[in-house]
Amino acid sequence: MRTIHRLNRALLVVAMLQVLSGALPAGEPSTPTIDRARQLLNSDRQDEGRGILTRESEKIERLLREDPENHASWFVLGRCRFYLENDRGALEAFEKAINLSPKEHSYHFMKGVTLRFSGKLEEAVESLQKARDLKPDHARYWAELAQVYAKQQKASETLEHGRKAIALGQRDAALYSLIGHALVADGEPLEALEMYRAACELEPHAAGHRCDTGQVLFTLGRMNESLEEFRTAARLAPEDWNIPTSLIQVHEALGMQKERDAQVERLRQMRGSGKYKELSAQQAFCRDVFEVDGKRVMAFESFEINGERPIRYSFVVSPRKGSEILYRVSLGSYKEVIDAAKKAGEIREGEPYFQLDADYPDGSHALFGFFKGSQPAYGNLKELVRAIVRGERQPLSRTEPRQTHE
């Protein structure tokens, strides 16, 4: 993860300094030390030059001991330290530069960027707003604010600043993607689709943009288009285990059972390979998403059936919009139920026995049926769940809600 973080920082420095190169204050001293540091920061060899850059930073520090009022030198030193991931030192240098020349918008901008990488988002917003206010026609400043607002999960602010950045000429796939995410959160999938399409045009080989596009098309019910996007993503990133999960859902929606089952098998093989630690830690995968009477149902299938109370399928029922869980319908096989059924002579030793029940947030529990001999096929089970959500299938029994005490 640290390598990825460093790469993102390096790429950001290259992009920012291309923008900032014309925004540096006039009269910056042209010394070999500062020029050399600037060359390294603007090159595509940051990782190779880290050792050299460290020595250049030390030279700038010696220069500043001779001329501590040189605000431009403090700024360049801050940039060096930022790339070297010395955020505390970078902030100190940017503060010095700002104190000496508070009207330089680029100084506030780089301070804000450093604060964002340090996780100090509120302070980052304050610095970036100062940069934006000092130079309101600078697209990059609006774009950076949009990114911070997105991290704060402030959709309206993200959209406002992202759209402004685009209006000012910012063309950035990451920005389009960012705005797309905010639009999805704001319930605007069609406009989000436009943003994801724009990101794909700028970075056609980025699997993530294809997945974003496929997901919003899935939400819009445009399944064939969604399938093509996820297939493209799978070709671009064959090792991404999230993509088979999405393909399972799209194939299910299109009734392509053979293709669906092939992706289920691929996902299980990827998990069993041990190459994907995050996938290996998952106990279940989402195999289906569908709607019933204005409610969204997400179906999860467990990778394994073991233990005394294993769940094979879990159907999470939520409002169509929002993340609230209304209730959960599960197909499980429970030791105490199996033991009771054997004792009553309902099943033989070793015979599979499943029950379908639902759990509600108020603590109540409803039993909808038993299945012996084998678990029901997924398609049949899905129809049972549809009937439960529509209120057409009544429970065999139901417990009372738990009592709450003031």
The CATH code of the domain that includes 69 is 1.25.40.10
Domain count, the chain: 2
- Residue 275 included in any domain: no
Could you tell me which residues come within 8 angstroms of residue 182 by beta carbon, excluding any fewer than 6 positions away?
Answer: 150, 155, 158, 159, 162
- Residue 147 included in any domain: no
* Nearest in space to 89 (alpha carbons), one of 119, 111, 64: 111
Query: What pLDDT score does 3 carry?
Result: 33
Query: What pLDDT score does 5 carry?
Result: 40
- Residue 280 included in any domain: no
- Residue 242 included in any domain: no
- Residue 405 included in any domain: no
Query: What pLDDT score does 35 carry?
Result: 55
Q: Which of 117, 135, 153 is the last residue of a domain?
A: 135
- Residue 327 included in any domain: yes
Query: What pLDDT score does 83 carry?
Result: 79
The tokens describing 250, both together, are 């799209």
| Alpha-carbon span 79 to 89, nearest angstrom | 10
Residues 186, 156: contact at Cβ < 8 Å? Answer: yes
Query: What pLDDT score does 323 carry?
Result: 79
- Residue 39 included in any domain: yes
Q: How many CB atoms lie within 10 A of CB 174?
A: 19
Q: How far is CA 12 from its chain centroid?
A: 19
Query: What pLDDT score does 281 carry?
Result: 93
Q: Which of 106, 135, 164 is the last residue of a domain?
A: 135
Could you tell me which residues come within 8 angstroms of residue 240 by beta carbon, excluding any fewer than 6 positions away?
Answer: 207, 233, 234
Helices (H), 171-276: 173-185, 189-202, 207-219, 223-236, 242-254, 257-273
- Residue 75 included in any domain: yes
Q: Could you tell me the residue range of the domain that residue 303 belongs to? A: 285-398
Could you tell me which residues come within 8 angstroms of residue 153 by beta carbon, excluding any fewer than 6 positions away?
Answer: 185
Residue ranges of the chain whose pLDDT lies below 50? 1-7, 10-11, 13-31, 33-34, 405-406
Q: Which of 110, 135, 160 is the last residue of a domain?
A: 135
Query: What pLDDT score does 130 carry?
Result: 97
Beta bridge partners of 291: 296
Is the model's pTM score more than 0.95?
A: no
Query: What pLDDT score does 363 carry?
Result: 92
The tokens describing 65, both together, are 């001991």
